[in-house]
Amino acid sequence: MQIIREQTAAAASAKAFEIVADMARHNQLQVMGLATGSTPLDLYKLICASDLDFSRTSSVNLDEYVGLKPTDPQSYHHFMQKHLFSVKPFKESFFPDGTNPDAGAVAKAYDRILADHPIDLQVLGIGRNGHIGFNEPGTAFDSHTHRVALTPSTIAANARFFAKPELVPHYAYTMGIASIMAAKQIILLAFGKEKAAAIRATIKGPVTTAVPASILQRHPNVTVVLDAAAASQI
Ligand code: GLP
């Protein structure tokens, strides 16, 4: 793992942008894996403000809530549209189909999409409990796309995006840990002191399903980009 520490989230996002821009300019971004959450927002702003061309890049998102339509303002589909795709069009963009209640069918369809679109660069955030995508602690390392019941702590953390906590869906579809590990290159972004313990466990702790992100220690090409607060326990 390569660790990059910057003082601020803005400076860290600029470093992540350099990695993305370098790959895009060298035509190494046929497929980009994207994440939602507040962490990658500055990176997406930098991409939007750049002259980079993503019209030949496909995107695959990590996850989607079960039960929300793509047009629902709380859906991850809508989030990506708003913060990236409306300004910087991609060739095509894929998400697990949150409108389909048949988890087996959604998983099969998304795994097929991922097999047909091998990820060159996956952008990741991290949950306070070390989750990546929506792979909560305990998720098998050999998992592919699946439906998950969100933990109370993840529901509480994501409630800030919803008008009322009761509106946060309790289930999501997510790429599995094996799906994420199949990416050729990964950038994990973490900002703020509430991520410091998860980052310590991810980088310094044992590789354990109790901390899903710890598996990244076994990936050959991971860059962890941190602000000072997220790096404060390593
Ligand atoms: C959600 C997303 C994750 C994201 C995490 C952290 O659970 N499914 O992909 O990494 O939130 O979000 P934030 O960046 O807002 O802290």
Is the separation of the CB atoms in 165 and 156 below 8 Å?
Answer: yes
Domains of the chain plus CATH, in order, are 2-218 (3.40.50.1360)
Low-confidence ranges of the chain (pLDDT < 70): none
The single residue of 61, 129, 135, 158 carrying the catalytic annotation is: 129
Q: Where are the alpha helices (DSSP H) in the chain?
A: 9-25, 41-49, 76-80, 103-116, 152-158, 177-181, 196-204
For residue 124, the model assigns a pLDDT of 98
Instruction: Output the pTM of the full model.
Output: 0.96
For residue 157, the model assigns a pLDDT of 86
- The finding on whether 33 has its CB within 6 A of some atom of ligand 1 is no
- The finding on whether 230 has its CB within 6 A of some atom of ligand 1 is no
For residue 231, the model assigns a pLDDT of 98
